[in-house]
Structure 1
């Protein structure tokens, strides 16, 4: 058993240099708390226990006192056994086990999840090295410290105890970053395969823990307010014991938990508790103001607090001797404040903190203390304008963050909140329960207070356009862009202002006859929106640290709405729709619009190209990732106006709508396809879903309704229709590169559904057809290179010469695919560089892929090519690659980055 640093009174004592280096972990040692003096135990045990049942987080001292039978038990919820069992499962040796295991705990706020997690660490500290991660430190620092902890006083890094790391309420992004850093470190140290190095235990609050667990059923545990029959008996017995030991107000949070937070009981219980508590309180006192400020923050900002130093500044206390400080502060509080405020300490800075004992209490305090005379917006404005708190220097950064979050940070289901919100919960409350004017007033005050911060200007633009105040929204959007001209998110907001304005104008004209003259204003607004979204596109592409595709989505959505407006005019509707297409795609100028739309003709005639380019960009993004990158993680300030939850369905539907506008025909089977022009045929292909490889392959992923289009035909029929719209002799047609890609991709998709289809051409013919692709690979589209890899992947029956030729083609294509992938992903963190696998190798030739057994060398996976050539295949997870030169088997997947190796297994 390794010897970890000893702990005295809950503190870890290392030498000064090591303490500075290992600051990101709260290390739990084997002999934790054992050095605590008996006198301290006797004098503090009741306070320690009361602090916990009053709403404080469970401490190691709580658990040590229980072990020593000095105080009563801390109840172990049923989930403890589930989590502990998963930890034990991770310790079971397996040759194929990954060096890092992850266990996720999702728990209702206040359901004891944090207690369960710390109980697991406490009871496993003899068999594992245990520590709590301080998320204020970077992932790389945490990784370094975790590696140090694993190897502490160990001579052989291959024989260290696994480390159990607890992450409390950390973003998934942060957890993944730490995991990535640890994987890199483990691979660098060449730890033997099958050795468990780290268990990452994530404990996150969620308002729907069961749903979070269902989304990824392995190694997940949910903890809810609902108690099992066994738990009910335990809580009932403990409650009777605590009621004999403490006054009711000191065990409030335990009572709330024992009642399972059932609304009909708890709401009334909390209401009566607060009502009783506030009897005789001095509403006008500065202490009551302090309670209100803390309650406001605790109600709306998760994990918020105010430092004791800030509280002392507000109360006008000036204590020069530290030994009298705590006593002076506590005696300055009213009796009510002492009952609802709980004292904590920051894990990094050790600054003393103050918060309300429970968010439900904070919310009810706001309601009862404000009454009918004051609104929450008034209190928020008062807090914002409080110079004493705002300018207090000690702990200022944290206070400023909470104050900013109060006005800026939205709620997100992905972060464990009940719902997604467009504004911060406070602003949402004020605009809905009070009035929009108050919300705007608040954000204006915040804009000034935070030194005319551009992000607050952006929020004001959003808030104004949400309430149809488009002129004001336009000015605030312009202000934000003027301050940060190259910020794609601000440009997106500006585009959304015009988009919403255009939508409102279009809607207002629905009951009136639309003429070229009376739609001029709406046209101008739509084109402004498109221009802003194009600027957003450009800024996002040039920003090497951001992936923001909102501008491309915006261009398509406004473009389609604009086409809808234009085609609704009598001059272009019904049988006159062909005139609309002719106007938009050629030099043709209808007399009705020539004068009224004089300044728009150039832009309108370019709209088809603009939408097409945006659709192709989105298709390329989805062919890499299959999801909208903006939906995964969001920064506090830089967020898109809206995210697309189902981007694949969105692309399919928008591509179909776009194709419909420009094809100029209905989809009736009776029409003579020979009358279609090449442009019309291309638009019909788009309408059917064959406009890009993403929509083509989507026909394979959701065959029930052809991926959201609700088409009556089967995917086979749809693909056959798409192929029939291409030239009957493609070899002599010299199709553009994009069309040729879609034609070949349609055959790959059709081959997956029906190898007997009469429309399916021979695999060799597609190989010959690919000769039309550019010789210079740098001129090839990513989808072109992807198809070249599929078309020329060597087969068992090939001659050596054929294999050599194919390998050269494939290697060249992969080299350029990887360059394009790296360019696409820019400088974002490596762990975010995801990739989507479109195909796997299976048995057979031609369209039927095959499985290959391969070998690896020097920690790299290779296929053996002709003449002993080595074909490097990147592993999807580098941690799965063995460190010795061994024969391995794996599944080969094809992505737009190139081939990747899945499920690497050493051959026995």
Structure 2
């Protein structure tokens, strides 16, 4: 089992994972280790797998492979087969532990007084057997890696070193990489090339290489050997030591940026490298691998790599960072990602013309990469914001705003191009272009409405709306904005479409289930931290611009709705009140401040007799969702329509369900879920409607998932089937989450849901209805009309018993169809 280094500890079999092997190989070896010399696969010892500094994707893939192996062997559900223990180096382990105490344990360099005494005693014992220089790491550990001790330790270690030697230069290079790039090293052959060493015998090559090093280098370097490739390499004995060496070995006038520039000019190291060499990988990561920032149990990426952040921050010289990235761009054969970083760096310091040139350079090389197209859009977005700032305190005319308007429109074009590229990418999801388009669009609307021609007239707001939504062009803007009129008149509709697209994506996948970690260096500039709240705010802001004149009074004084509003004005006011899309409507169940009153106002904007009104499909969806949300917050509210009225609205959905919106299909699965007192004929009819909706939801889900494994994009369940009837039988997930109010950390709540422990909470169990069914060949069925099978997808596949059993479960509703939670075999 080459991919594992195994041990046996009492009731566990333990192994250290070698991440150089594919997860499929590791999983196979882990299963073989578990079953080694065991007769019954159901009764094997649990295997503890230790991984070191593995990224999240590797761990997810490994977990999925192990789950597949468990299912394949039909191991009884609930049997603990594998424990994954992930050890990751962190700059702030105690903070990370506090953020998620159920998942993380902090192991720091600090020792307790008792541990210090034990380490001190052990060191005395080791000193009798080994020379001090052979137990350096142990000595550092026994001192708790205190900053003061490390400084003295390194100063003593480097005493007498020739600072002008090539060997000292090598130590600096390795220290630079080890300080900023986790697990980095330089191969022995690269060291030999730099030191101009040649050996006649391959057999004793490592021995001869070590002999050629000075005493200081022998103590500083840790020698490694890859078990798979057998490549020999070196790194500094510990990252904290590397960091201190870097500080102490720099010449008085030398900076880390100048050292990195020297490293880029070391021709011999590049000439010795192949494209796949680890050395080039580590050097590339030094310049462009962005670090993860933890905040409120979520992960975000810094804009630049830690090293570039140091150069532009600590050395207070953005020009130095720019010079470095330019040199790296050329050294790495005009790599598009270095050009992307240069664009970001330039616009950060408002050097927009240069930023534009570098963004275009990156796009020329990778024209279909959505992240690079996003960066180009960000250049124009930041440029637009800067231009708006310069005219912030002056009267705005068509003439002095034309330049800003043109820049905003260029940004919108870039983000729309980014969206098209993102839709075509099958291996990952990039929604940054949609969010950025909305932000630029709202900024542009703010600028347009602030023009003197509109802002200083009593009917200016209405005239501005007329300009944006009709063929009308005011004389004051006709010539100065001549190139923009067509584009601006599409702004209202394109923003509406983009907001709806964001809403649809969030209806499928919400970030409070799985904190996706975008680790690609070319990733988006910054993820939206609270997308549900962001969408609610931006949708309302969008509606405000087209309804402000009459909706402000309604919101402020809770006045009744004016009777003479046009359908367009009503729709925009619904947006302003928070009812423009299904995601914002359902979000009101979570964000409950004034939610009941707002939902009632939204309903008052719809026709009093909806069955006779002419709705478009989106209006019907929002109307039904508003009733469901209001009923969740205010059961028995007189303004909530009866279930039969909402069911009757289905006739206004397209007869051809391929033309139905996903949220319309989702609502059909809710509205037509059978009641206990339904006749057999009613149940048959309802199940048929639900089953047809589910078939088309499945197709839409497959499109949304692309080629991304399901465990990387977990679909969100909005409602659960409760014990009530009518609309009261739907329990929103937020109500269940509030029952776990004693658990404050999001990650802990996730664990409760994924493990099924949440459903054992008495408060939650009391809300939900047990549904009866059975399993056959690993599938879950619920009894449909006339004994027809109705397949229900389980949320957790391993929870399905392999044998054919009668079961009960809780039923959830998401944008893929009904799902089974907490499957229990009926005794």
- Shared fold by TM > 0.5? yes
**1:588 offset after TM fit, Å?**
1.6
Contact 2:770 2:808 in 1 (8 A): no
TM-score, with normalisation over the residues of structure 1?
A: 0.82
For the residues of structure 1 that align with 2:679 and 2:308, how far apart are their CA atoms?
70
Aligned to 1:901: 820
Aligned to 1:683: 572
Aligned to 1:315: 195
Q: 2:543 aligns with which of 646, 659, 666?
A: 659
**1:228 offset after TM fit, Å?**
3.6
* Alignment map for 1:518-597 (pairs within 5 Å): 518-573=400-455, 575=458, 576-597=460-481
1:485 aligned onto 2:373:
no
Contact 1:206 1:417 in 2 (8 A): no
Secondary structure of the 2:822 match is strand
Q: 2:307 aligns with which of 426, 441, 458?
A: 426
Secondary structure of the 1:902 match is strand
Aligned to 1:513: 395
Kindly tell me: are residues 419 and 216 of structure 1, through their superposed partners in 2, closer, same or farther at Cα, counting changes over 3 Å? closer
For the residues of structure 2 that align with 1:504 and 1:664, how far apart are their CA atoms?
26
Aligned to 2:771: 852
Secondary structure of the 1:838 match is strand
* Alignment map for 1:330-729 (pairs within 5 Å): 330-393=210-273, 397-413=277-293, 420-434=301-315, 435-573=317-455, 575=458, 576-627=460-511, 632-665=516-549, 666=552, 667-668=555-556, 669-670=558-559, 672-703=561-592, 706=593, 714-729=594-609
Contact 1:716 1:754 in 2 (8 A): yes
**1:672 offset after TM fit, Å?**
4.8
Q: 2:680 aligns with which of 780, 800, 804?
A: 800
For the residues of structure 1 that align with 2:104 and 2:277, how far apart are their CA atoms?
35
Secondary structure of the 2:522 match is coil
**1:386 offset after TM fit, Å?**
1.3
Contact 1:134 1:348 in 2 (8 A): no
**1:171 offset after TM fit, Å?**
1.4
Contact 2:374 2:418 in 1 (8 A): yes
Kindly tell me: are residues 631 and 551 of structure 1, through their superposed partners in 2, closer, same or farther at Cα, counting changes over 3 Å? farther
Kindly tell me: are residues 851 and 662 of structure 1, through their superposed partners in 2, closer, same or farther at Cα, counting changes over 3 Å? farther
Aligned pairs, number: 779
Give per-residue Cα distances to partners, 1:797-830, cap 9 Å, x unaligned.
0011100000000000001001100111111123
1:202 aligned onto 2:86:
yes
**1:246 offset after TM fit, Å?**
5.9
For the residues of structure 2 that align with 1:685 and 1:233, how far apart are their CA atoms?
69
For the residues of structure 2 that align with 1:547 and 1:782, how far apart are their CA atoms?
19
Q: 1:821 aligns with which of 683, 689, 701?
A: 701
**1:482 offset after TM fit, Å?**
1.1
1:185 aligned onto 2:74:
no
For the residues of structure 1 that align with 2:157 and 2:96, how far apart are their CA atoms?
37
Kindly tell me: are residues 519 and 691 of structure 1, through their superposed partners in 2, closer, same or farther at Cα, counting changes over 3 Å? same
The 10-residue stretch of structure 1 (393-402 or 639-648) with the greater mean CA deviation from structure 2: 393-402
Contact 2:301 2:519 in 1 (8 A): no
For the residues of structure 2 that align with 1:210 and 1:558, how far apart are their CA atoms?
39
**1:742 offset after TM fit, Å?**
0.6
Give per-residue Cα distances to partners, 1:112-135, cap 9 Å, x unaligned.
xxxxxxxxxx5x445443322122
Secondary structure of the 1:354 match is strand
Kindly tell me: are residues 795 and 295 of structure 1, through their superposed partners in 2, closer, same or farther at Cα, counting changes over 3 Å? same
Give per-residue Cα distances to partners, 1:638-692, cap 9 Å, x unaligned.
3112111111111111111111111132133346521322212211111111111
1:782 aligned onto 2:666:
no
For the residues of structure 1 that align with 2:813 and 2:601, how far apart are their CA atoms?
27
For the residues of structure 2 that align with 1:338 and 1:395, how far apart are their CA atoms?
29
1:170 aligned onto 2:148:
no
For the residues of structure 2 that align with 1:259 and 1:722, how far apart are their CA atoms?
66
Aligned to 2:799: 880
Kindly tell me: are residues 856 and 516 of structure 1, through their superposed partners in 2, closer, same or farther at Cα, counting changes over 3 Å? same
Kindly tell me: are residues 394 and 742 of structure 1, through their superposed partners in 2, closer, same or farther at Cα, counting changes over 3 Å? closer
Give per-residue Cα distances to partners, 1:320-339, cap 9 Å, x unaligned.
22343233222322222222
Contact 1:837 1:895 in 2 (8 A): yes
Kindly tell me: are residues 730 and 169 of structure 1, through their superposed partners in 2, closer, same or farther at Cα, counting changes over 3 Å? same
For the residues of structure 1 that align with 2:544 and 2:221, how far apart are their CA atoms?
63
Aligned to 1:27: 5
Kindly tell me: are residues 419 and 835 of structure 1, through their superposed partners in 2, closer, same or farther at Cα, counting changes over 3 Å? closer
For the residues of structure 1 that align with 2:385 and 2:285, how far apart are their CA atoms?
31
Give per-residue Cα distances to partners, 1:573-630, cap 9 Å, x unaligned.
2642221111111112111111110110011111111111111111111111112999
Aligned to 2:758: none
Contact 2:5 2:15 in 1 (8 A): yes
Aligned to 1:111: none
Secondary structure of the 2:802 match is coil
For the residues of structure 2 that align with 1:758 and 1:395, how far apart are their CA atoms?
70
Contact 1:548 1:630 in 2 (8 A): no
Which consecutive unaligned segments of at least 5 residues does structure 2 have? 730-768
**1:148 offset after TM fit, Å?**
3.0
1:268 aligned onto 2:148:
yes
Contact 2:373 2:417 in 1 (8 A): yes
For the residues of structure 2 that align with 1:304 and 1:528, how far apart are their CA atoms?
41
**1:634 offset after TM fit, Å?**
2.3
Contact 1:628 1:645 in 2 (8 A): no
For the residues of structure 2 that align with 1:418 and 1:701, how far apart are their CA atoms?
23
Kindly tell me: are residues 217 and 702 of structure 1, through their superposed partners in 2, closer, same or farther at Cα, counting changes over 3 Å? farther
Kindly tell me: are residues 558 and 394 of structure 1, through their superposed partners in 2, closer, same or farther at Cα, counting changes over 3 Å? closer
Kindly tell me: are residues 653 and 419 of structure 1, through their superposed partners in 2, closer, same or farther at Cα, counting changes over 3 Å? closer
Instruction: Give the CA RMSD over aligned residues.
Output: 2.3
**1:464 offset after TM fit, Å?**
1.1
For the residues of structure 2 that align with 1:466 and 1:605, how far apart are their CA atoms?
31
For the residues of structure 1 that align with 2:142 and 2:604, how far apart are their CA atoms?
68
**1:163 offset after TM fit, Å?**
2.4
Contact 1:377 1:442 in 2 (8 A): yes
For the residues of structure 2 that align with 1:413 and 1:205, how far apart are their CA atoms?
14
Contact 2:273 2:279 in 1 (8 A): no
Secondary structure of the 2:269 match is helix
Give per-residue Cα distances to partners, 1:504-554, cap 9 Å, x unaligned.
111111132221101111100000000000000111112222211111011
**1:245 offset after TM fit, Å?**
6.0
**1:223 offset after TM fit, Å?**
2.1
Give per-residue Cα distances to partners, 1:166-196, cap 9 Å, x unaligned.
1111112211111111212221222233433
Aligned to 2:636: 756
* Alignment map for 1:855-874 (pairs within 5 Å): 855-874=774-793
For the residues of structure 2 that align with 1:469 and 1:738, how far apart are their CA atoms?
43
Which consecutive unaligned segments of at least 5 residues does structure 1 have? 1-21, 29-121, 707-713
* Alignment map for 1:69-80 (pairs within 5 Å): none
Aligned to 2:31: 147
Kindly tell me: are residues 717 and 379 of structure 1, through their superposed partners in 2, closer, same or farther at Cα, counting changes over 3 Å? same
* Alignment map for 1:273-288 (pairs within 5 Å): 273-288=153-168
For the residues of structure 2 that align with 1:657 and 1:523, how far apart are their CA atoms?
19
